[in-house]
Structure 1
């Protein structure tokens, strides 16, 4: 299942831009990068997450790693073994909260910063997306 419907891509792009603009203003005001959370409506966050997952999926297509950003989306990326037909979960799974994902996607924080802080749950051999980020 796609992270975003085709007809929602323009709205996703706008939401992503709104999130980036709000994050930039917070950073200019001296907010800590690792706790950055712009005060935007929930639908804006949801659409920004879905759009950035769509960008990730286009950048690294494949069935080998599932990236989950609950509650708003999940995509499968990178080559590798596909999902087990019994549980539909690939051998590599990465889970992040929306604020962590968007900071990474924007390049505000790095994979190692977020991982070292314990804000990324990753299982499997391909548990590092740093080569694919920022988007």
Structure 2
């Protein structure tokens, strides 16, 4: 069993990229973005355990979440894929899943993929320092 992620660690990782999320400028380093993406995606998967939906934020992370049939081989039947900026906006409540979908910022496939929206935001926006 994997070690549980401390939500405070995820908040700290997001705080580092907070100004970028708020303004879209001063893009953080790749490592800082990766840390925030991985922490928030893994925290969501921890809160919504399961294997029926795969959330992908390439090139940083892919997690399986939400109870249901387990996917083990090939292309998963339920996938949500997006870029790091969009993911972090959704994970922090700055962008709603439905709005991101309407704006074409998400690639969603499968009948259960939209269930991810029930688990977002992972936590609310943090104030950038």
TM-score (norm 2): 0.80
2:117 alignment counterpart: 130
Structure 2: runs of 5 or more not aligned: 123-129
Q: CA deviation at 1:37?
A: 5.8
Q: CA RMSD in A?
A: 2.4
**Greater relative contact order (Cα < 8 A, sep 6+):** 2
TM-score, structure 1 length as denominator?
A: 0.76
Q: How does 1:17-56 map to 2 (within 5 A)?
A: 17-24=15-22, 26=23, 36=24, 38-56=26-44
Aligned length: 119
Q: Secondary structure at the match of 1:63?
A: coil
**In structure 1, distance between residues paired with 2:47 and 2:4:** 16
Whole-Å separation in 2 of the counterparts to 1:37 and 1:124:
34
- 1:72-107 deviation line (CA, Å, top 9, x unaligned): 00100011111144x2x4321111111110000011
CA deviations on 1:3-29 (whole Å, 9 max, x unpaired) are xx879x8765432121235434x2xxx
Matched, 1:102 2:88: yes
Between Structure 1 and Structure 2, the one with more strand by share is: 1
Unaligned runs of 5+ in 1: 27-35
Partners of 1:38 and 1:53 in 2: how far apart? 23
